[in-house]
Amino acid sequence: MSDRIKVLVVDDIPETRDHLAKLLGFEADFDVVGVAASGAEAIERAVALLPDIVLMDINMPDMDGIAATELLAAKCPTAAVVMMSVQGEADYLRRSMLAGAREFLVKPFSSDELAASIRQVWTRERDKQSRMATSVAAATSRGAPGVEAGTVVAVFSPKGGVGRTTIAVNLAVAAASLGGRKVALMDGSFQFGDVGVLLNLSPKNNSIADLAPALEAGESESMETFLISHSSGVRVLLAPPSPEQAERVTAVHAKRAIEQLRASHDLVVVDCTATFSETTIAILDEADVILTLLSLEITSIKNMRLFLEVAEQLGYSSSKVRLVLNRADSTLGIRVADVEHSIGRKVDHTIISDGRSVVYALNRGVPFFLSNREAQVSQDILRLATAIVGPGSMAASAADTKTGAAAAKKSLFAWR
C-alpha cells in the first residue's frame, strides 16, 4: 500500500460513477485509479489496477455487488470493498459483511462520510496487512521469556444468547484463581453489557465511556482509575450503563483500551457482541485468540459456518479461532460429530450444560466458578483457562507475573 489510497469506483449508473470519482478527486490523499460499470468489469479492473479500496454499488444488473465482492476476495484479496446501497436493511449489511465487504454506506451519504469511511477501512487494512506480515516474528518474540505484553482472548459467537458472557466472566475468574497472573476482563458489549451484572458490580462505577477522552488523548495512566477490582482478583473494565453512553465509545476506543490492558495484564478477556460491527471487528483483530462459541442448535451451526468464512477473509489464522461448544451435552437431536461435519472443523473445547449452577450463580451475582467450584461446568472452565494460560502456580506472587505471561504464551502457541 502506498500513501495515496487507490480507489476503484463501481456503479452501473454513469452519473453516479462520475459524481463519486469527482468527489474523491477533491481529496488529496485519494487516487481514483479507475471506474467500472458492472460486477464483472469491477473484477477485471481490480485484477489489473490493484486498488486498495473498491467502492462498490450493491445493486447492479449483471452481477450484483455482493457476488462481485465474494469473487474479489479470491481474485484480488488486497482490495477492501466499501459497499454502497440505497437499502439500509440489516440483511443487506449482513450479506455484504459475510461476502467480505469492510464497510457499508447507505445512500445518500455526504462526501465527508464517504472519505472518512474509506480512510478508516484503508487504515484498518494497512494495519492488518502489516500485522500479518510480521505475525511470524511476533509469534516468536511473544513466546520468548521476558516479553510482557499479555494475551488477549475475545469471547465471541455469531449468534446471541449462547453463553459468551457466562464463559468470559468465569474464564477470567478461573484464570485469576490459577495464581501469578494479572487478569483483566473487558465488557465489549457496549450497549447491553452484562459483565457487571454477573459480577454484581454497581452500574454507578466508571465504565469505558468515562475512559473514552483519555483513550482519545492517548493517555495510558488513566486506565488504572477506571478498572474495577473484583474480589476474585479480576480487574474489570465495564460497559457503559446506558445505550446512549455507549454511543460515545468507538472502535478506536475499544482497540486502544485493549492495547493498554494488554500492556499491564497477562490475560485480557473481552466479552464481545454477536454482531459484525466495526467495534467487534476491531476487538477480534486485536485478539490473539478468538474463543468462538456455538451450541447444538441449527442456527448456531449455520452462523458458525458463515463466521468461519468471514474469519478467513479477515485474515485470521485457523489457530487464532478456537471453537468452544457450550452446553455440549444437550440432547437436542444434533450430535457433536454432526456439528464438526457441518462446519468442517473439530470443536476445540466443550463446556457442559448445568442450568442449576449457572443460573443460580447468575441470579446471585457470583460466578459459578467461585460458588460451585466442584461442579463439572467449573472443571470445564478450568480446563479451558489452563489451555489458554498454562497450568497454575497458586503460590506465585505478583513478582512472578512475567513468568506467568511467558507460560501463557507458551501454552497459547502450543496450539499452533
Ligand X SMILES: Nc1ncnc2c1ncn2[C@@H]1O[C@H](COP(=O)(O)OP(=O)(O)OP(=O)(O)O)[C@@H](O)[C@H]1O
Omega within 30 of 0 (cis) for the link into 213: no
Report, in Å, the least distance between residue 342 CB and ligand X.
Answer: 20
Dihedral of the CA atoms 198, 201, 206, 211 (nearest 10)? -30
Which positions lie near ligand X, rule CB under 6 A? 157, 160-166, 189, 194, 274, 326-327, 351, 353-355, 358-359, 362, 377
Distance between CA atoms of residues 8 and 46, nearest Å: 7
Distance between CA atoms of residues 154 and 139, nearest Å: 18
Distance between CA atoms of residues 176 and 166, nearest Å: 16
Cell of 107: 445512500
149 binds, among ligand X, Mg ion, none (CB under 5 to 8 A by kind): none
CA separation, residue 382 to residues 145, 175, 180, 378, 388 (Å): 24, 7, 15, 6, 10
Is 210 a residue that touches Mg ion (CB under 5 A)?
Answer: no
Q: Which is nearer to ligand X, 157 or 260 (CB)?
A: 157
| DSSP helix/strand/coil, 83 | strand
User: Which of 38, 69, 117, 165 touches Mg ion (CB under 5 A)?
Assistant: 165
Other CB atoms within 10 Å distance of the CB of residue 91: 8
Report, in Å, the least distance between residue 165 CB and Mg ion.
Answer: 3
Distance between CA atoms of residues 97 and 70, nearest Å: 10
Distance between CA atoms of residues 245 and 334, nearest Å: 41
45 binds, among Mg ion, ligand X, none (CB under 5 to 8 A by kind): none
Q: Which is nearer to ligand X, 8 or 198 (CB)?
A: 198
Q: Which is nearer to ligand X, 157 or 401 (CB)?
A: 157
Q: Which is nearer to ligand X, 183 or 377 (CB)?
A: 377
Backbone angles phi, psi at 140, to 5 degrees: -65, -50
Cell of 238: 465495564
392 binds, among ligand X, Mg ion, none (CB under 5 to 8 A by kind): none
Report, in Å, the least distance between residue 157 CB and ligand X.
Answer: 6
Distance between CA atoms of residues 43 and 73, nearest Å: 10
Other CB atoms within 10 Å distance of the CB of residue 407: 22
Q: Which is nearer to ligand X, 87 or 200 (CB)?
A: 200
DSSP state of 273: P
Q: Which residue is nearest to ligand X (CB)?
A: 160
**Stretch 299-338: interaction string toward Mg ion, x if CB under 5 A:** ----------------------------------------
Report, in Å, the least distance between residue 189 CB and Mg ion.
Answer: 6
Report, in Å, the least distance between residue 154 CB and ligand X.
Answer: 13
| DSSP helix/strand/coil, 329 | coil
- Contacting Mg ion within 173-202 (CB under 5 A): 194
Q: Which is nearer to ligand X, 117 or 157 (CB)?
A: 157
Report, in Å, the least distance between residue 362 CB and ligand X.
Answer: 5
77 binds, among Mg ion, ligand X, none (CB under 5 to 8 A by kind): none
Report, in Å, the least distance between residue 234 CB and Mg ion.
Answer: 16
- The contact set with Mg ion (CB under 5 A) reads 164-165, 194
